[in-house]
Chain A
């Protein structure tokens, strides 16, 4: 998976977890918490979707790596290597 695809993965998941937010215009360097008001439960949802869709496990001590969109891509890129893009199972 390319970095652009990983960005798409993260945005898709953010849209699933926060359906009322506009994720298309997210600033990659600004904390997600500030842009779309995520709380710790929402991070749990993001991690859960990553596991459900890609079998990726993010340990709790690594949640801080997911603070920004850029951080998410940097952290997840190696973990998603060789996997194909899936659309989130948003019911």
Chain B
């Protein structure tokens, strides 16, 4: 019996789309090629410890029932998935920092803190920053808006100090730009709101708390979740998708296929060649340091610390294996959680070059990984305490690791710089969700799945029925 919809990939966007459709009584099959769900935001166990993959915190935090929560992205998302705020057990960040040569800016989930920091360190920019924040608050994201002015142009319009512009830009790029050294106006506005006006939080227990809740709800709502079910082909006839063929040869039929595999990857599944230039080029080296005590006990108090050794925000594919001149330090220890943490955790993320990592001989790879992780940590340490002597364990992943586990070509965690905000990819009934649709981060990916399910399946058929 055919399905109402097939969803490819049980990451955040796929789970969001499948759950949303099932809540509306649709017959949905959710296909995941790995043995575990999560995609770019999954989890694993190594050396008896549990680790999260992917970004370290959720953005868009709003407290339940507050004025700020009204109409906020998190509120809309939870409602669409019928999840109560408290079920996510979100702990707020203690605070974060942006550290550049000669200047540091702190920010928390109270936007007044960053405003005061800007006024203190860049007194002449007080009004400009307030105007920028107002512009972001008033910005309405639209699915038909692509390209447009760059983030740098928006910053230049409001702020005179080049250093302040670079300091505000760097975290946003690291949090979700698929474009080198810049991003577009809309992505800028979405990320600025997500990070600086709303803020960071983490589910108690990490990403698996959220994933397990989504999977449980999806199953209860009737989603058929199939693991180890890779898709070999998307079946297209007469210019329209009508199903998929799995790697085991099984054929599943549905009038709509929603794919989180990425734009280039999805079109390849549908037998359409695309230009390599539309593949994403930005990937990361991430090292997770397990420490003998929580990071705050060592004096590292930032939930997230964005650092740059240069006065200009550098965010591009490096010419070497990594570029440690800028990066992100994040610690799960610095969120308000009830369960005590005996060990500490600190992650160091820097940009990395996928091609060079792939070109390494197998015997060079492991040593290169350790060297690169050491180099990234050495770059970060001057901005905080020296956590390295407190290491009890370390795991490192490279662009090659990311590609292997997510299927995203080039290990491009933020996908292609070309986004498909309306979800269309040129084939009827084949809808892009997730990274290449355009909403980034955990919350963004879930919104992507929900929004595309609303737009391409529910809104259409609801209108037909009535």
Residues of A within 8 A of B (CB): 16-20, 37, 39, 41-42, 44-45, 47-48, 51-52, 57-60, 90-91
Contact = CB atoms under 8 A, between A and B. Distances in A.
A62 B459 CA distance: 16
A51 B420 CA distance: 33
B130 to A, nearest CB: 26
A37 B25 contact: no
A90 B82 contact: yes
Given A91-B23, A91-B82, 12 more contacts: A18-B79, A19-B79, A20-B75, A20-B85, A44-B458, A48-B458, A51-B465, A58-B466, A59-B466, A60-B463, A90-B82, A91-B217
Nearest to B221: A91
A34 to B, nearest CB: 11
B354 to A, nearest CB: 38
Interface in B414-466: 454, 458-459, 462-463, 465-466
Contacts of B70: 37
A39 B465 CA distance: 20
A47 B462 contact: yes
B83 A19 contact: yes
B249 interface: no
Contacts of B466: 47, 57-60
Q: Which 5 residue pairs are nearest across A and B when measured between Cβ atoms?
A: A91-B220, A59-B466, A19-B84, A60-B466, A37-B70
Contacts, number: 51
A20 B25 contact: no
B148 interface: no
Contacts of B454: 41, 44
Contacts of A19: 78-79, 82-84
B224 to A, nearest CB: 15
Contact of B79 (A42, A58, A60, A90): A42
A48 B221 CA distance: 15
Interface string B64-89: 11000111000110111011110000
Contacts of A44: 454, 458-459, 462
Nearest to A52: B25
